[in-house]
Amino acid sequence: MIQEAERIGVDGIVIGNTNECGRPTKELLESATNARVPVAFVASEVVSEIETMQEQVALEPHSEDVRHDAFIYLSIYNGQPDHESHVVNHILASTHILLATMVVLALLIYLSLACSVGSLRYIPREIAPDIFGTRAEPLDKGTLEQLPLIPVKWNVNGLGDDDEEARCESPSTIDLGQTRKALLQQLAGIIVRSGDGSYLFTEEKECAICLDSYVFNDSLRLLPCKHAFHRKCIDAWLLSESMTVHCPVCKSSITDGLRLLDKHGYSDVLNLLRGDSCVAGHCCLSVSRASLKPLRYSTTSKPDTSYFGSNPYLQQLSRQYKQAHDLCMNDPERFSSSHMQHMVSTSRDIFPNTELRLSKVRTFGFDYDYTLARYTDKLPETIYTMIRDVLVKRMLYPPALQALKYDKTFAIRGLSYDRETGWLFKLDSNYNIAMDTVHYGREPLRDLEEVYSLHNGTHVAPDYVKNQLYQLNDIYSVPEATLLADIIQYFTEQNIPFHPRYLAEDIRAAGEYIHKGDGISLSPLHSTIINNIGDYLDRAPELLQILNTLKSSGKRLFLLTNSGYQYINAGLTYMFGTRDWRALFDVVIVGARKPSWYLSHRPFRLVPTDTQESRHQPWAHVDHFEDGQVYSGGNLMTFTNITGYSDRNVMYFGDHIYSDLRDPSIQKGWFTGAIVSELKYELSVIQRSEYRQLVTYIQLIEKILKTAQQQTRSAQFTQLSVEEKEAFRQLLEVGRVERRQARWKLRDCFNTNFGSVFRTEKYPSLFATKIKAFANVYTADLSNLGEYPLDFIFYPKRMTQAHESRMPEVDDLLEEIY
């Protein structure tokens, strides 16, 4: 094909991967190697652009402005041996000759630069020296032997705690459990061990020269840029007089890298280049978080400055790194809760997002589930089991699914499930996907390029969020998220085809069934809880006392819940130890159907109770509320008209962002309080000295990096040699890597799969953003309301803008005051 193109006199050849099928065949590469004209292998997007120009030319083929002396032979490569090709007889035309000439020149420039920007996967070796610089002399064997050899040890999905002692007997069958695999995230490549005992990781599973897959105990030659190849392939490449002494992948100079090796030693360079970039600055290797080893300075001696010579910039930056590490990581007592007691938040606190005067609140409303009712850890497991059994027994899912067990450590609240792809992930406040949380089944998504390709980045468009994402925002959804992941994992391992949308819909339908049943009698879940109520509910005498205090203070109370009367009657009777709980509330509304309750026009109806007189009929029209009675249905407008509750004097507590918080605050301007039970655990993590050390360390590293980068603009820095500037850039990368690793450790403090409920790696989570937007205050438990007098004023923490200065002096002064 390439020879045919050369025969017709083309100026260049562009071979496009239109079906995204992978790499070109070996035969095609060999043919490209011997080509006499520039040859480029490009992505499908480039092919599309060229075809678009071709179509434009076809509209006016005989125009005098069309150039016919520039040809491109475009091969539509589909990965098959018998792939077809066609000759573009005229291309790169426009309405002006000048523009056509510019396009031709742009394409040729593109061919020469594409490798450095990642568009070209391969360039024929014959023309590589002409594109990347003057041809260099081939390496002699003595110089070549300076490049270290490394054996392929494993091709596995995970490493265990005994990494150093892991056996090499089986290259592909090591299985060390879900937990460790989750920590490794994207890692799915070759694991090699260098001469100094450190592990190196590459996502490449095959040699980029011969395209043969690596196998156990293959001998690889490691270049200074961290790319590895079969020893026989790269040696032949570098020793050949017709080849260039550049890395075949990233084109970084081998000789430049060897000079660094000669000067500083292989181990020092490896420690220096622990980030994502090559020596020459090409970001062409994506290293997973698990593969990065933390930078550690000795606590007993100063760092080795022999590498930095007399360069003051390198010496200063190295010293600052060490000081930051010593200050933060070697003095845990400095960050203990006892040392910072006056600044430590506890799970008994209420946290304000806005200023709130409790004295202005005359009416308090409450949801039941996870607000008044405090469930035990057994409930999520029961929900998981019941939904699983409904899928198997009623919806014909495989019986083998009944062997699945609930893992309470896997998921968190606030995740998003993509109903088209089956991905489970966390969104940040800007609707960007937290890439380190993307899971398919129980495993981290291996090919994150799929995410970038789908969304053209990490940002998810609002329409996509609305139409395709299933938001898992309440506590009930945590076992649903876990079951989604478990079933996808099972289907994937068993090669069972499925559509992620149908799976989500079936799990949601099964969840609705166990919660609501037939709508007349008790649902299966509620029946189970009532029959074993002590296993699922905690008693709450302190809540009873708080409600009595509010009532005796002249506050009006109402209960608004989606649950049925029989269920909440059993629950509140158990929690409060009295059957007379209805006397606490001015109005009790069950079966409300929130969130539609806030905008619907459904009428209220009376709910029969065991104490009602026969004259009360459940089908009668309701135009007023009576003390001690229970009502169902209704809507916000009718409720306000009957009760006369003033909008800005009402405060409602609930746990669900959309059912309890959003519409009351938006539609009527009610004050709202969010009950976020996860706060208890998250605050316990935040109080650990390890967490405080890591946060402080990250902030110090960021300050050091900011200052160091600003120094590169100084006149003194511009006078440094190229090698010194490159060393400084690599040392900056050391700090960036250390910052990344500290962030990952922070994440794993909360949950090794998805991190904190309230944060992503860089920003607040979408869940936290919604809490801030729709809740005036939030707290871990409703009983915390009893910690505050009824005339208390909540003051939100002052949030600094990017251009404002923080006032650390406040903390220092508080230490003196307290």
How buried is 488 (Cβ within 10 angstroms: 0-12 exposed, 13-18 middle, 19+ buried)? Answer: buried
User: Cβ neighbours of residue 702 under 8 Å, at least 6 residues apart?
Assistant: 739
Helix (H, G, I), strand (E, B) or coil at 587: strand
Q: Minimal CA–CA distance to 90: which of 108, 79, 104?
A: 104
How buried is 45 (Cβ within 10 angstroms: 0-12 exposed, 13-18 middle, 19+ buried)? Answer: exposed
Alpha-carbon distance of 74 to 97, in angstroms, equals 22
| Length of the chain measured in residues | 818
Q: Which residues sit opposite 206 in a β-bridge? A: 213
Alpha-carbon distance of 816 to 784, in angstroms, equals 28
Find out whether 116 and 251 touch, Cβ atoms under 8 Å. yes
Alpha-carbon distance of 352 to 660, in angstroms, equals 17
Q: At what angle do helices 312-329 and 689-711 cross, to 10 degrees?
A: 170
Name the DSSP class of 657. I
Beta strand 415-418 with 423-426 is: antiparallel
Q: Is 369 a catalytic residue?
A: yes
User: Cβ neighbours of residue 436 under 8 Å, at least 6 residues apart?
Assistant: 185, 289, 444, 744, 747, 755, 761
Element (H, E) at 612: none
Token pair recorded at residue 55: 């179509």
Which region, left, alpha or beta, applies to residue 813 given φ > 0 means left and ψ of -120 to 50 means alpha?
alpha
| Alpha-carbon distance values, 548 to 372, 541, 554, 786, 789 (Å) | 14, 11, 10, 11, 14
Alpha helices by DSSP H, listed for 494-588, are 500-516, 524-531, 533-536, 541-552, 565-576
Q: Which of 69, 130, 262, 369 is labelled catalytic? A: 369
Query: Which residue is it, tokens 């002692």?
Result: 165
How buried is 496 (Cβ within 10 angstroms: 0-12 exposed, 13-18 middle, 19+ buried)? Answer: exposed
Token pair recorded at residue 794: 């909540």
Alpha-carbon distance of 655 to 650, in angstroms, equals 17
Helix (H, G, I), strand (E, B) or coil at 392: helix
Alpha-carbon distance of 779 to 676, in angstroms, equals 6
Alpha-carbon distance of 266 to 145, in angstroms, equals 13
Q: Minimal CA–CA distance to 133: which of 9, 280, 347?
A: 280
Identify how many contiguous H helices and E strands the chain contains and give both numbers. Answer: 28, 25
Token pair recorded at residue 32: 């490209």
Q: Which of 218, 256, 367, 474 is labelled catalytic? A: 367
Token pair recorded at residue 671: 């004050």
The one-letter code for the residue type at 207 is C
Token pair recorded at residue 583: 């006397």
Q: Which residues sit opposite 415 in a β-bridge? A: 426, 472
Alpha-carbon distance of 84 to 281, in angstroms, equals 38
Cα 459 vs. chain centroid, distance in angstroms? Answer: 11
Name the DSSP class of 140. P
Beta strand 556-560 with 363-366 is: parallel
Give the residue numbers marked as catalytic: 367, 369
